[in-house]
């Protein structure tokens, strides 16, 4: 590949690296400076060489200004810079196998897809899901390098027990390119922003189908979580929830929703009640989960707790979080209370006993117990057991 | 000739005409039969006028000469104006080749570099921080520097290894007879614990204050019996930098997780109970640890006997809430701590001698249950480096690290697994500050590694499921997988600094770094 113009990717902020690829005449000229002096010089140089070779670059001036970036970040920035310099978009990824497993979905943590410093904690955030965001957190001119960094992050970072999630852009922005770039790295869930109709989900589902086939991703199927964030979306919530069997949960986005209503968010969240109940009802009717909107005031932990308690009452299975410090608070709310656990244990016990005895009537504390109550008790116990395995 | 010491470092027989003793193990050096050094006797007469109008007058009265050793304390931290003021005056007088002997230096003291270049200062025995450390690391100091722990510095003075010619004691309030207090005045800093030993052993003691009051100043930390001269100046420092505003707990999720693991671990092994005690500080993770300790103690309804160390408002709140019987304060970091010390009879000042001196009949660190400490590096033998960075540059002092580690029951090193790309755990640390035999537990966001010497802790931690507990080699490999393996920095043979252990033996040397 010939480098005909200059391509730059990355930044000089902490744990990132700035890579500049320029046309050159006589071979590869690599200039490396690092905040860590020469302690990683050889490794940085070899990663730069490796990526340059992969693209068959014979002549170029490559300037690397490192601020303590990990190897995967260096490689991602290097590839982005080359692609920006050549304007060629090539698929050169290899993916590793990872089975998507069902997880608790109490929290899904948003992290900007462009910031390696915030990504370093992914292994240790105990959120149930981690969303690498390509949409609102990334500026238009950085979409390509964020896509590359997210691809590398999906492949290189240990997500622990958390589901790997990516929020792509709307299809009318660059959602299709996002899917194209990240799917080979097998994210568990794709979040579709600003879903207004079943068509939005159907289209994404088709692209996922095609892309999975094209990359031969056998045995892997990306799940979908549509985010409803407009009045129209709320009206179409049931159709959105039901159109694709990839859809695993509906999420709510309150910021844009209030704009579409022409109202402001208030402390009591009265303006959100209809949307929240509609979304929970649509999701449950379609047999999937519902995830509430984020709570945007990071400082107000008491407010977060109150709001989350309300989410739980309304029937949400969890919510979005925008800072790791919110995770434990949300988890503590969705953790079944001791009373709930006690009650669930008793119900399952009397149910089992009634089954053994062949009795058709199940009673607990004088009240008749029917099947939905037993199922709810079983769900409480299964959440409790999953949490206590952690 | 070089000899290997007990942590496998090569120590020369002598340097700058000083005979060196290699570190022999944490408790294997004993000054049996030796006596303390003593300064000359003085007399006290009526109408003894100690006041001097200027620093120059005071220096002349003290008969400052080439080659003298001049000491300072660091209670004024980044706000200190005294060290720079005194050295500038000494330079103006044409004095050369002095040794400065501070309890610690800060970035505000970068100015000293020009006085090293001009030959006014030829040696520093004390912490070397930031730019001065860098300057020394590149081989720019004529003599070899010596770094000591807080307790080790007291020991060096008492045993006569370090003879102080003139001690400057910056005092936020003093009377004309030399009684000193750090509790009052615009430059209030709390205790004057670091200066105590200098006031006892220096040949000549100069108190420098910006708040001169009428005798008698009571209560006081340092009495008039040890003071030769009192100088009044306009300002001894910048109050905004002497104490920081309200210190904030780290927001970094990984650091919070480290603090949480530390407290949870202590809880699970049964250390959070009535009459417990611990040492805390003001570093990033320390504040979070203090807060989480308070939360846990409240939850379990237990009360500590004492909290010791650098005191912040978080510890003060624990005293007020009744979560601890007392605070034992070596340095106060914020206004809340100073105010508490003024008003609460259960908030005590503790001299560094009482806090950390190994050559004494009993110092506080030996009564500690838990000490939370930091590090720049740790190795698989649990040796800790707090002095140099992985590139070999000398950038930090020892503080109380060696003393607390040696004394307390559980020494916990709380550190992120890697900073930028630099791994924290390695095969062998760049510089050994604190020997592994005194370090018990390493806590990173990856989990906890326990020193194999502590079979009791390993046994107690056997059933912990909520915190990943792993051998240190495993933790090292995990970190290295993320960061990649680091290369070794290029070093020269010349020794630029000695790292003294708290007993006066040499635990490691710092070599010149190639530019």
Domain A107-334 CATH assignment equals 3.40.50.300: no
Give the whole-angstrom CA distance, residue B130 versus residue B113.
Answer: 11
Q: Which residue has the higher pLDDT, B334 or A355?
A: B334
SS3 A275: helix
Instruction: Please give the Cα distance from A198 to A360 (Å, whole number).
Output: 43
Is there a contact between B126 and B104 (Cβ–Cβ < 8 Å)?
yes
Cα torsion for B250, B254, B256, B259, to the nearest 10°? -120
CA B515 to chain centre: 29
Q: Check residue A389 and give its pLDDT.
A: 59
B6 contacts B436 by C-beta, under 8 angstroms: no
The pLDDT of B195-218, averaged and rounded, is 97
The rounded distance, in Å, linking the Cα atoms of B402 and B404 is 6
Alpha carbon of A301: minimum distance to chain B alpha carbons (Å): 14
Burial class of residue A138 in the structure, from the number of CB atoms within 10 Å of its CB (0-12 exposed, 13-18 middle, 19+ buried):
buried
For an interface test with B, the pick among A75, A111, A115, A120 (most B C-beta atoms closer than 10 Å) comes out as A120
Please check whether residue B415 is in contact with residue B258, taking contact to mean a CB–CB distance below 8 angstroms.
yes
Top-confidence residue, A88 or B23: B23
Per-residue confidence (pLDDT) for residue A390, from 0 to 100: 45
Residue with tokens 């970091």: B333
- Of the CA atoms within 13 Å of residue B479, those in its CB half-sphere come to 32
Helix, strand, coil percentages (3-state) for chain B, rounded to 5, are: 30, 25, 45
User: What are B507's two structure tokens?
Assistant: 């635990």
Tokens for B24?
A: 């022999």
Strands (E), B288-402: 304-311, 324-332, 347-349, 370-373, 377-379, 384-385
Q: How deeply is B174 buried, as exposed, middle or buried, from its count of CB atoms within 10 A (0-12, 13-18, 19+)?
A: buried
Assembly ipTM? 0.71
Domains of chain B with CATH codes = 53-125+162-241 (3.40.1080.10), 253-491 (3.40.1080.10)
Residue indicated by tokens 């003093």 = B174
Nearest CA in chain B to A325: B253
At B445-477, the pLDDT tens digits run 999 999 999 999 999 999 998 899 999 999 999
Cβ neighbours of residue B456 closer than 8 Å, sequence gap 6 or more:
none
- Using the beta-carbon criterion (under 8 Å), do B422 and A41 form an inter-chain contact? no
Q: Report which secondary-structure segment, H or E, holds B447.
A: strand B447-450
From the list B349, B392, B343, the residue with the least C-alpha distance to B495 is: B392
pLDDT of residue B486 exceeding 80: yes
User: Which pLDDT does position A369 carry in this prediction?
Assistant: 77
Query: Over the Cα atoms of chain A, what is R_g?
Result: 24
Q: Which residues of A touch B446 (CB under 8 A)?
A: 123-124
**How does pLDDT run along chain A (390 residues), one tens digit per residue?**
888 888 999 999 989 999 999 998 888 899 999 988 889 999 999 999 999 999 989 899 999 999 999 999 999 999 999 988 886 544 333 333 222 333 589 999 999 999 999 898 898 888 999 999 999 999 999 999 999 999 999 999 999 889 999 999 999 999 999 999 999 999 999 999 999 999 999 999 999 999 999 998 888 999 999 999 999 999 999 999 999 999 999 999 999 999 999 999 888 899 999 999 999 999 999 989 999 999 999 989 999 999 999 999 999 999 999 999 899 999 999 888 888 888 888 888 888 877 777 666 677 777 777 777 887 788 788 778 777 754
Confirm or reject contact between A335 and chain B (CB < 8 A): no
B-side interface with A, Cβ within 8 Å? 251-254, 256-257, 390-391, 419-422, 445-446, 466, 482-487, 489-490
Residue A359 has what pLDDT?
A: 67
Q: DSSP assignment of A60-105, as one string?
A: EEEEEEESS--HHHHHHHHHHHHHHHH-------------------
B209 forms beta bridges with B171, B232
Is the backbone peptide bond immediately before B216 cis, with ω within 30 degrees of 0?
yes
At residue B193's C-alpha, the angle toward residues B133 and B83, to 5°, is: 40
pLDDT at residue number A101: 31
Indicate yes or no: CB of B251 within 8 angstroms of CB of A124. no
Q: CB–CB of B487 and A67 under 8 A?
A: no
How many beta-carbon pairs under 8 angstroms link A with B? 59
Average pLDDT on B61-71 reads 97
Asked: is A7-86 a CATH 3.30.230.10 domain? The reply is: yes
| Whether A40 contacts chain B with CB within 8 A | yes
Any B CB within 8 A of A15 CB? yes
Closest partner CB to B254 (pick from A14, A69, A121): A121
What is the Cα–Cα distance from B340 to B317, expressed in whole angstroms? Answer: 9
For strands B370-373 and B410-414, give the pairing.
parallel
Between β-strands B10-12 and A223-228, what pairing exists: parallel, antiparallel or unpaired?
unpaired
Kind and range of the H or E run holding B422: strand B422-423
User: Which pLDDT does position A98 carry in this prediction?
Assistant: 28
In chain A, where the domains are located: 7-86, 107-334, 338-389
Mean pLDDT check: name the lowest of A336-350, B308-322, B342-356, B391-405: A336-350
Confidence at residue A88, expressed as pLDDT on a 0 to 100 scale: 53
Strand order in the sheet with B377-379: B384-385, B377-379, B425-426
- pLDDT score recorded for residue B127: 86
Which whole number is the average pLDDT over B478-504?
92
Nearest to A151 by CA among A111, A186, A101: A186
Instruction: List chain B residues with CB under 8 Å of A68.
Output: 419-422
Q: What is the pLDDT of residue A92?
A: 39
Give the helix/strand (H/E) hosting B511.
Answer: strand B506-513
**Angle, nearest 10°, between helix axes A371-389 and A338-357?**
130
Separation in Å, CA of B486 to nearest CA in chain A:
6
Structure tokens at A188: 């568990």
Residue A344, H or E segment = helix A338-357
pLDDT digits (tens, 9 = 90+) for B322-333: 999 999 999 999
Query: How distant is the alpha carbon of residue B365 from its chain centre?
Result: 13
Q: How far apart, in whole angstroms, are the C-alpha atoms of residue B154 and residue B170?
A: 18
What pLDDT is stored for residue A91 in this prediction?
38
User: A337-359: b or e for each residue (b if 16 or more CB lie within 10 Å)?
Assistant: eeebbebbeebbebbeebeeeee
**Which member of B445, B466, B487 has the closest CB to residue A41?**
B487
Q: Which residues of A touch B482 (CB under 8 A)?
A: 70
What percent of chain B stands above pLDDT 90? 89
Distance between CA atoms of residues B396 and B387, nearest Å: 5
Task: Look up residue B300 and give its DSSP letter.
Answer: H
pLDDT of residue B304: 97
DSSP B190: S
Mean pLDDT of B166-175: 98
**Chain B residues with CB inside 8 Å of A43's CB?**
484-485
């Amino acid at each position: 590949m010939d480098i005909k113009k200059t391509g730059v990717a990355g930044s000089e902020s902490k744990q990132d690296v700035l890579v500049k690829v320029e046309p050159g005449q006589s071979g590869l000229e690599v200039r490396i400076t690092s905040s860590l002096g020469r302690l990683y010089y050889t490794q940085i140089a070899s990663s730069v060489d490796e990526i340059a070779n992969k693209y068959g670059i014979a002549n170029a001036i490559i300037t690397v200004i490192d601020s303590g970036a990990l190897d995967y970040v260096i490689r991602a920035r290097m590839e982005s810079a080359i692609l920006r310099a050549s304007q060629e978009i090539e698929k050169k990824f290899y993916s590793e196998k990872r089975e998507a497993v069902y997880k608790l979905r109490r929290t899904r943590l948003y992290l900007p897809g462009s910031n390696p410093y915030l990504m370093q904690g992914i292994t240790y955030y105990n959120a149930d899901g981690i969303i690498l965001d390509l949409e609102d957190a990334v500026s238009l001119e950085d979409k390509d390098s964020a896509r590359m960094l997210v691809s590398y992050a999906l492949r290189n970072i240990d997500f622990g027990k958390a589901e790997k999630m990516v929020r792509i852009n709307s299809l009318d922005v660059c959602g299709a390119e996002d899917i194209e770039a990240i799917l080979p790295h097998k994210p568990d869930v794709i979040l579709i922003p600003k879903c207004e109709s079943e068509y939005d989900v159907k289209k994404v589902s088709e692209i996922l189908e095609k892309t999975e086939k094209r990359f031969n991703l056998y045995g892997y199927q990306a799940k979908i979580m549509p985010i409803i964030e407009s009045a129209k979306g709320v009206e179409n919530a049931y159709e959105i929830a039901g159109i694709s069997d990839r859809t695993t949960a509906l999420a709510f986005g309150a910021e844009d929703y209030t704009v579409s209503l022409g109202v402001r968010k208030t402390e009591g969240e009265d303006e959100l009640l209809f949307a929240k109940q509609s979304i929970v009802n649509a999701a449950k009717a379609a047999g999937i989960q519902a995830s509430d909107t984020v709570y945007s005031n990071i400082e107000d932990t008491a407010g977060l707790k109150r709001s989350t308690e309300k989410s739980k009452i309304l029937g949400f299975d969890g919510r979005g979080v925008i800072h790791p410090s919110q995770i434990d608070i949300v988890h503590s709310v969705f953790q079944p209370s001791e009373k709930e656990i006690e009650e669930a244990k008793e119900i399952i016990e009397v149910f089992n006993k009634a089954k053994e005895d062949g009795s058709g009537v199940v009673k607990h504390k004088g009240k008749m117990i029917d099947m939905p109550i037993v199922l709810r008790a079983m769900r409480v116990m299964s959440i409790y057991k999953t949490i206590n395995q952690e | 000739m070089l000899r290997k010491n007990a942590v496998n470092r090569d120590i020369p027989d002598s340097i700058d005409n000083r005979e060196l003793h290699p570190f022999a193990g944490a408790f294997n050096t004993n000054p049996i039969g030796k006596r303390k050094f003593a300064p000359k006797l003085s007399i006290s007469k009526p109408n003894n006028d100690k006041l001097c109008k200027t620093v120059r007058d005071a220096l002349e009265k003290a008969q400052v000469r080439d080659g003298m050793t001049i000491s300072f304390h660091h209670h004024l931290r980044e706000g200190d104006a005294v060290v720079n003021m005194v050295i500038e005056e000494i330079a103006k007088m044409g004095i050369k080749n002095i040794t400065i002997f501070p309890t610690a230096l800060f970035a505000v003291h970068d100015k000293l570099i020009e006085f090293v270049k001009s030959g006014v200062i030829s040696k520093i025995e004390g912490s070397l921080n930031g730019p001065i450390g860098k300057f020394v690391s590149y081989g720019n100091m004529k003599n070899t520097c010596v770094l000591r722990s807080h307790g080790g510095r007291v020991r060096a003075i008492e045993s006569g290894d370090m003879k102080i010619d003139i001690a400057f004691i910056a005092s936020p309030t003093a009377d004309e007879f030399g009684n000193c207090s750090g509790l009052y005045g615009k430059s209030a800093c709390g205790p004057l614990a670091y200066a105590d030993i200098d006031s006892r052993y220096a040949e000549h003691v100069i108190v420098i204050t910006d708040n001169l009051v009428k005798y008698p100043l009571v209560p006081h930390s340092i009495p008039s019996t040890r003071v030769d001269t009192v100088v009044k100046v306009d300002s001894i420092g910048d109050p905004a930098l002497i104490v920081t505003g309200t210190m904030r707990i780290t927001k970094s999720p990984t650091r919070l997780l480290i603090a949480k693991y530390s407290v949870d671990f202590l809880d699970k092994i049964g250390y959070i109970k009535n009459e417990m005690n611990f040492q805390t500080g003001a570093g990033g993770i320390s504040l979070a640890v203090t807060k989480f300790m308070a939360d846990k103690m409240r939850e379990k309804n237990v009360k500590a006997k004492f909290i010791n160390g650098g005191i912040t408002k978080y510890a003060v709140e624990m005293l007020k809430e009744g979560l601890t019987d007392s605070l034992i304060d070596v340095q106060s970091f914020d206004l809340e701590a100073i105010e508490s010390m003024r008003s609460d009879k259960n908030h005590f000042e503790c001299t560094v001698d009482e806090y950390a001196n190994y050559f004494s009949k009993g110092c506080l660190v030996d009564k500690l249950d838990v000490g939370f400490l930091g590090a720049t590096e740790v190795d698989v033998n649990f040796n800790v480096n707090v002095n140099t960075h992985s590139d070999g540059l000398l950038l930090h002092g020892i503080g109380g690290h060696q003393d607390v580690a040696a004394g307390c029951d559980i020494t916990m090193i709380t550190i992120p697994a890697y900073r930028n790309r630099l791994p924290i755990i390695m095969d062998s640390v760049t510089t050994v500050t604190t020997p592994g035999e005194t370090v018990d537990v390493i806590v990173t966001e990856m989990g906890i590694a326990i020193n194999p010497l502590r079979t009791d802790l390993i046994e107690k931690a056997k059933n912990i499921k909520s915190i990943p507990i792993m051998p240190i080699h495993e933790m090292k490999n995990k970190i290295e997988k993320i960061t990649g393996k680091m290369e070794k920095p290029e070093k020269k043979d010349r020794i630029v600094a000695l790292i003294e252990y708290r007993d006066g033996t040499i635990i490691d040397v710092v070599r010149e770094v190639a530019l």
